[in-house]
A and B are shown apart, each in its own frame.
Chain A
Amino acid sequence: MNRLLKVLFFALLVKPLVLLGLGLNTRQRNLLPQSGPAIIAANHNSHLDTLVLMSLYPLHQIHRVRPVAAADYFLSSRFLAWFSLKVIGIIPLERKHVRELDKLFNQSVSALEHGDILVLFPEGTRGQPEQLAPLKKGIYHLAKRLDSVPITPVIMRGLGMALPRGEALFIPYNCDVIIGKALSEYRDADGLLAQLSERFTELETHCLTKSSFEEHRS
């Protein structure tokens, strides 16, 4: 039932919206992990980020893609909680309990063990539109629990214009989705974050959309 809802939601709403309302310039799509366990680490600017990443997968695979999302936000109201858990299939993360690292990632770990593909936003929040915030270490603590799961970096650009944080007006905008090579060798948290931000910076150079005048001048 839930899977049917998810497939219908993506087939009838998300995929047409992404195709016509947005329009993606996808680069290196073949690098997207085809089977789990795998983690997709992407930058975060808009609620659309998750939907766009999931829409890259064919309908029969979509139930395998699970976004890890903040429980305090997505479970805050009854409808939103139902929609997030049943239709999108998020794995809720209690951001308050960061002290007990083991407990924090239990659900994510079991999903990975089950062979799911997790979508993670290491910036932790959508932050300022179209700007990369410092990355957080949580992704390392999750990945190390499963003996170096491959982490695929993805940079998206333009969605912060289409539907930024705190705005209700959607505007059509072409978006870049640049997928990088998976990272699978990392020793510690700082090393992983350094590798990730280096990949992110490199991937950003392939973007077509210019998000500001400043960037254009440089």
Chain B
Amino acid sequence: MHIPNESKFRETGVLTPEEFVAAGDHLVHHCPTWQWAAGDESKTKTYLPKDKQFLITRNVACYRRCKQMEYVGEETLVEEESGDGGWVETHQLNDDGTSQLDDKICELTLDESKDEMFTIENGKRSPLRVVTTDDDNEDDDEAIDMDTFEESGMLELVDPAVATTTRKQDIETNPSNLASVVNASETTNSADSVLRTRTYDLHITYDKYYQTPRLWVVGYDEQRKPLTVEQMYEDVSQDHAKKTVTMESHPHLPGPNMASVHPCRHADIMKKIIQTVEEGGGQLGVHLYLIIFLKFVQTVIPTIEYDFTQNFNMS
């Protein structure tokens, strides 16, 4: 495919790979949690520098579910309009240890599962699937299997310098976890862990078809197990879930499809922003592209609190 090398940024809102790199360097410089990544070497794109294939920021906190924000009721929606005050307070109460709220939101999660819209979106699948695991029996079998691998002789070597450690997180959130077999793609075991802090990795790649940046999100639960697609949709604005946010193959990573904000509208939105700035007598440098880009994709993932320190003024 033809890779552009002439700037069309001002006319059409698209980027050349060089401009993407320049805008990426600017982002990394001003928002220090972002960094360049090389990706899987077998997937290196020749039109980008080897060590600047895409941008990544890791472990971004996501305290609240988007679905909760939107479905809780009028009261919350009103609060939401005045910034995110209401829900931030809720979160702090949880930290103080008031389990009452936990219970309340737990119920809410279950209510949502019964919600008609949710069932339609899930097709034939049971709505409760998200909060229960149907693999429990198989896992138990595997646990028994694993016992036969244990080697006794190796413990005979006495090593007085090994500390016995137990992770604070494990004790707090899932004491039974110690006994379970690692299952990298396991869904959450209990409804209440849905409420714990999820984290996200955000990636920005260069989409060579649309000639724009493209945002990817990968979510993890409190144990840092990857979230299922359904769980991730809870953190996407419900107007955008499954329409703007789709599952596709990441250009630089191995593995299954990942959630991505579809780039088909990015150039248009950017063009409008450029025009608005120019009508106001200003001019928008192409190096600011990603800073602005992150601002407008935030409407799709409003509860993911990524580092975003720069302000951008339209006028």
Chains A and B belong together in one complex: no
